[in-house]
Amino acid sequence: MDSSKDYSKLCIHTITTKPWSLAEAVDNYAMAGVKGITVWQNSVPDKNFEAAGKLIRSHGLEIISYCRGGFFTEPDAEKRAHAIEDNKKMIAEAAALGAPILVLVCGSSPTQSMEDSRTQIKEGIEALLPIAENAGVKLAIEPLHPMYADNRSAINTLGQANDMAEYFNSKWVGVAVDVYHLWWDPDLEKEIARCGGNDNLLAYHICDWKIPTTDLLLDRGLMGEGCIPLQKIKNWVASAGFDGYHEVEIFSNHYWQMDQGAFLKKIMEAYDEHCL
Ligand code: ZN
């Protein structure tokens, strides 16, 4: 890679290069000059989180976040309690890994009202808060695009995520801004300034929205190949005081089929061209 380019804030989610094992991802990211990595649970071999953390750090990479907890909503109380227990485990896994943040996809259940789902999300985070604080792991509420309001998240705008984070008023709860979910929102600039202003902006995820998008989940685009105003949003995030990593999170059946080394090269070129 060209050493004149600044990759000091570039982070890649392991799921972006899903065909690679964690060891392959870490090797290749480090060799290419990537500095940060966000770890998805399914990428950790044998659920050995301490060993994974050591492997990553031994390659000079910084662990930015652990993905992903949440899914708190469920009409059945016993299942809700079970979800909270799962999240407690994930907080412990994040701590063992050495990840400072657990990202939350909060959940939504189509057989109950959105209001009920949001109440359950609030109760779920409330139950986790002392455990997160004790483990030294922050919880990042990630609002999801409204196309996922049926069964993935009842938190669909950054305004709602900010409301929720401010309700807790804790340094252990904040929000994750993912351009894929939020680019369309007319209040985005205002809401980014709002979470930046009260130190609730914990994470920034990038990719692009392809035209047309052919799959609700697995057709995310590489930065620059869609309609998301990446430079504009990057400037809003910077103006809000965020100086953390820019995390490339791309779920794509298309890119997972290509040679992952060639894909990584494309990611770095796209980051350089559209995100710096
Ligand atoms: Zn994301």
Around ion ligand 1, residues with a beta carbon closer than 5 Å are 178, 205, 249
Ranges assigned E (strand) in 124-252? 138-141, 173-178, 201-206, 246-248
Residue 138 backbone phi and psi in degrees, to 5:
-85, 150
Report CA(55)–ligand 1 centroid distance (Å): 24
Contacts of range 156-161, beta carbons closer than 8 Å, 24 or more positions apart? 156/181, 157/182, 157/185, 157/187, 157/191, 158/182, 158/185, 158/187, 158/188, 158/191, 158/192, 158/195, 159/185, 159/187, 159/191, 160/118, 161/195
Distance CA 99, CA 66 (A): 6
Report CA(198)–ligand 1 centroid distance (Å): 21
The verdict on pTM exceeding 0.95 is yes
* Alpha helical stretches, state H, 98-157: 114-135
- Is 108 domain-assigned? yes
Report CA(206)–ligand 1 centroid distance (Å): 8
Distance CA 136, CA 138 (A): 7
- Is 178 domain-assigned? yes
- Is 2 domain-assigned? no
Omega before residue 212 within 30° of 0, cis: yes
- Is 3 domain-assigned? no
Query: Residue 257 has what pLDDT?
Result: 98
Number of domains in the chain: 1
- Give, for all 276 residues of the chain, the pLDDT tens digit: 455 689 999 999 999 999 999 999 999 999 999 999 999 999 999 999 999 999 999 999 999 999 999 999 999 999 999 999 999 999 999 999 999 999 999 999 999 999 999 999 999 999 999 999 999 999 999 999 999 999 999 999 999 999 999 999 999 999 999 999 999 999 999 999 999 999 999 999 999 999 999 999 999 999 999 999 999 999 999 999 999 999 999 999 999 999 999 999 999 999 999 999
**If we measure between CA atoms, which residue out of 202, 260, 250 comes closest to residue 12?**
250
State the CATH number of the domain containing residue 162: 3.20.20.150
Report CA(113)–ligand 1 centroid distance (Å): 24
Query: Residue 5 has what pLDDT?
Result: 86
3-state secondary structure of 209: coil
Query: Residue 124 has what pLDDT?
Result: 98
Structure tokens at 25: 């991802």
- Is 128 domain-assigned? yes
Report CA(249)–ligand 1 centroid distance (Å): 6
User: Which residues constitute the domain of residue 88?
Assistant: 10-274
- Is 120 domain-assigned? yes
- Is 156 domain-assigned? yes
3-state secondary structure of 107: strand
Structure tokens at 71: 């899914």
Query: For residue 158, what are the CA distances in angstroms to 115, 148, 164, 179, 181?
Result: 17, 14, 10, 11, 9
Report CA(133)–ligand 1 centroid distance (Å): 22
Query: For residue 87, what are the CA distances in angstroms to 11, 64, 209, 273?
Result: 24, 18, 30, 37
**If we measure between CA atoms, which residue out of 218, 224, 125 comes closest to residue 175?**
125
Number of Cα atoms under 13 Å in the Cβ half of residue 121: 35
- Is 5 domain-assigned? no
Residue 28 backbone phi and psi in degrees, to 5:
-70, -40
